[in-house]
Each structure stands twice: as C-alpha cells, then as structure tokens.
Amino acid sequence: MTDDQLLRYSRHILLDEIGVEGQQRIAAAHVLVIGAGGLGSPVALYLGTAGVGRITLVDHDTVDLTNLQRQIAHSMARVGQPKAQSAREAIGAINPEPIVDAITQRADTALLDRLVPRADVVIDCTDNFKTRHAVNAACVAHAKPLVSGAAIRFDAQISVYDTRYTTAPCYACVFPFDPDFEETLCATMGVFAPIVGIIGAMQAAEALKLIAGVGQSLAGRLQMLDARTMEWNEVQVARDGACAVCGHRG
C-alpha cells in the first residue's frame, strides 16, 4: 500500500479485525451492485470510500427530481443522467481509486449471468420482485453471496443469502416467486428518506464484512425495521429443501 492509501484507509487499518490485510482484500475485491437508487446510493458511496477495488453499478434508469429526496449519490446537476453514471461520478468525487463500471441497462438474466460470476459479492438494491428473483437465481447458480435489502414507506428489511453454506437459505426460500405478486412502489406508496440510507449502509457493511472476513454475516437471519418506532425484529430463516432455486443444492 502507498503512503496515501495508508493515510486514506487508516481508520480501517486501525481496526484489529481489518488491519492492512483486510484493507488489501477490500482493494482486491469486485462488488456488483444492482440498482443505483435509494439503497444503491449509500451502498455505492460507502463501497467507494472504503476502497473496494472494482465496483460494477447496474441501473437502466435516469436521475429524476423526485429521486433527490433520498438518493444521495445524485444531484441537481445530474438530473436526466443515467443513475449508474451519476453514482460513478459521486464515487469518483470522494475517492478516485476504485474502478467503477457503469452499466445503463436492465439487469436481465443474460446480463446477470455475465456479471455475477466476475463478482466477489452481489448487492441487490432493486425495487421490484422479479429482478430480485433473477439476481438471486444468478447468485445461487454461480455460488456468490447476495446482500439483499428493501424499503417502502417506514418499513425495511435486510439479509444475506449465501448458499455456499448448506443450511443457509436463498432469497426464494424466504420469499417464493409468485407470478401474481403485486408490486408496491414508492412512487405510489412513498418512502421515508432516511430508511434507505439506514438499510443501504447496512448492506455496504455486510458486503465489506464478507470481503474482509470480519464477524458474522446476516446469512440465515432476516432483520426487519419499523422506522415509526425504530424497532428491529429478527427472525431465523433456514434453507427450504423444496426450494425450486436452491433446494437441490448442498
């Protein structure tokens, strides 16, 4: 590490659990972030400030004025720009070291099958059920840990789905795919701005822990937040042997 890097990342390096070796693992890591909106904004910024070596951002949408209430990676000056490119600029303004790939297309099965195998960790910051299941299926197929978060109104949830462990569930074990599922969109239901920051920061933390080999991940645990009272609930979740996505594995 250079003197500048030792200084920039000194507060990580001072942590016994991370140190120089852990920071070097972060610098060597590649994280795939699906979605550069409310959750993806803090995820992208914290991964960038932490010095993740390569960050791939996938988002097909553009920055809109209504996004700025909560999507902190974007700015008035970048309204109309693709969100992935805007988030890349935001990372670069804080830390020019990470290589940031901005992909401005929808995360469909073909794209995920190309990108997921290259990543060390995948972070799902999307806002629709179908894409979450596509991301999960790709992570299971390529044995990659998935950090998943969601938020609407004052309610949010976060977990890690890491099927490299035989007892750990995938996303579909906990939330089976339902073709008749009706999406609840923040455009119609609203979302409390700080809640996406809370969950996004936690997603970044879980990803960095996985990369650096620190602590215990949320695999097998689903945490849910009610921001009206700031109360957390946690439930244990297990692998479903009959799961259509991961049940035959392990």
Q: What is the 3-state secondary structure (H, E, C) of the chain?
A: CCHHHHHHCHHHHCCCCCHHHHHHHHHHCEEEEECCCCCHHHHHHHHHHHCCCEEEEECCCECCHHHHHCCCCCCHHHCCCEHHHHHHHHHHHHCCCCEEEEECCCCCHHHHHHHHHHCCEEEECCCCHHHHHHHHHHHHHCCCCEEEEEEEECEEEEEEECCCCCCCCCHHHHCCCCCCCCCCCHHHHCECHHHHHHHHHHHHHHHHHHHHCCCCCCECEEEEEECCCCEEEEEECCCCCCCCCCCCCC
- pTM equals 0.95
CATH class of the 3-236 domain in this structure: alpha beta
pLDDT of residue 249: 58
pLDDT of residue 88: 98
pLDDT of residue 31: 98
Per-domain residue ranges of the chain: 3-236
pLDDT of residue 134: 97
pLDDT of residue 173: 96
Residues of the chain with pLDDT under 50: 250
pLDDT of residue 114: 97
pLDDT of residue 183: 61
